[in-house]
Structure 1
Amino acid sequence: MKKFEEKTIKSEKIYNGKMIQLQVDDVTLPNGKTAKRELIKHPGAVAVIPITKDNKIVFVEQFRKPLEKSIIEIPAGKLEEGEEPEVTAIRELEEETGYTASSLSFVSSFYTSPGFADELMYIYITDQLEKMENPVAGDDDEFIEILELTLDEAKQYLEEERIHDAKTNYAILYLHALEMR
């Protein structure tokens, strides 16, 4: 038995979309009482910390509808069914930035919002960037601008909340920690 396990009594699928599935589960709590849990099922995602030869970090700025504003982020995207995270990372890097990489290093993975979602985010880093001669076309519904920032500039954008998402915050903290070694 798992510590504090909540046993599912009933599960109702509410929505099955392109990116997520929403379900409501009735569960039995460790104390024997019951509760409802609203859950988002997500296939997982990747993000890349791309470092140029002149030691700048490649970011993308895009509008995020849930926030009703644009934010600056490291390149990222959803895992496709059966796709390995490293393959997704290269694909997203190419589609979003016009760069490719000869190699990636795995940094970490983490659950983005474990209170209601099972999305697992894989983070990679590379300083082996090469500009593509023929950039891959991105998604039709994705409008982005590429920015190349120093770590100090990125930290400033963090303070200004122009960078304001968990994966990019993590990336900046990670790079800061490497710099402090």
Structure 2
Amino acid sequence: MDPRDWDWPVLESSAEYETGWYTGGYDRVEQPDGTEKNYYWADLPDAVVVVARKGEAVVFIEQYRPPIREHCLELVAGIVEEGESYEEAALRELREETGYEAANPELLQTFNVATGVLRHERGIVVADVTGESEDGRALDTNEFIEVTERPADEALAAAREQPANDATIEGLLLARADGYL
């Protein structure tokens, strides 16, 4: 029997906590062999990652990430707000975090993230920075960000230095595979 034909009935679904950032809970599922198991999940809103090209460079941000207790080099990223497309969210996040305006946003890919535990979709958008100003940043109260750039041909190597993160590496790999870097 093809595993795609297996039935996985959800017998119970329970949200055990909400944080304002995500909801966590479990689904009690009947597995194909008839046994039951709880599958735990965290439900997060959709997010966008922005590969912002500025001439022959890629725009990055540097910020401290308390969960891993490390300073990280990352692509601009953030939550897709209700009613926004990934492209609209990318331009807004880039403006808020860096002050840069951009044009020609193109959605490269959407995909589910960490499917063993998360209910979370991520979109990768490439866009071209159109201005030189960092004025107009609108950082959230928990964002302490430094804006930096790396030459496009060195961006992936820089992103792979520890502490590396999935969203940045994914964004750069997809942009490179599609001929944007």
Q: Is the 8 A contact 2:108 2:175 kept in 1?
A: no
User: Which one-letter code corresponds to 2:75 in the other structure?
Assistant: I
Counterpart-to-counterpart distance in 2, 1:83 and 1:98 = 19
Q: Is the 8 A contact 2:159 2:168 kept in 1?
A: no
Deviation for aligned residue 1:169? 0.7
1:90-129 mapped onto 2 (5 Å cutoff): 90-129=91-130
Instruction: Note if 1:74 corresponds to 2:75.
Output: yes
CA displacement, residues 120-171 of structure 1 (integer Å, 9 cap, x when unaligned): 1011101243234741311111111111001343233244324x11121122
- Which SS does the other structure have where 1:114 is aligned? coil
1:165 alignment counterpart: 165
User: Which one-letter code corresponds to 1:106 in the other structure?
Assistant: L
Deviation for aligned residue 1:28? 0.6
Q: State TM-score, norm by structure 1.
A: 0.88
Q: 1:71 to 1:173 in 2, by over 3 A?
A: same
Counterpart-to-counterpart distance in 2, 1:84 and 1:175 = 19
2:142 alignment counterpart: 141
Equivalent pairs counted in the alignment come to 179
Counterpart-to-counterpart distance in 1, 2:78 and 2:22 = 13
Deviation for aligned residue 1:43? 1.5
Gapped runs of 5+ residues in structure 2? none
2:37 alignment counterpart: 35
Q: 1:16 to 1:106 in 2, by over 3 A?
A: same
CA displacement, residues 96-133 of structure 1 (integer Å, 9 cap, x when unaligned): 11111132011111112111111110111012432347
Q: 1:3 to 1:41 in 2, by over 3 A?
A: farther
Q: State TM-score, norm by structure 2.
A: 0.88
Q: 1:81 to 1:16 in 2, by over 3 A?
A: farther
Work out which of the residue numbers 18, 21, 26 in structure 2 matches 1:16: 18
Gapped runs of 5+ residues in structure 1? none
User: Which one-letter code corresponds to 1:123 in the other structure?
Assistant: I
- Which SS does the other structure have where 2:60 is aligned? strand
Deviation for aligned residue 1:178? 5.0
Query: Which of 65-74 and 166-175 deviates more?
Result: 166-175
Counterpart-to-counterpart distance in 2, 1:128 and 1:68 = 30
Q: 1:78 to 1:9 in 2, by over 3 A?
A: same
Q: CA RMSD in A?
A: 2.3
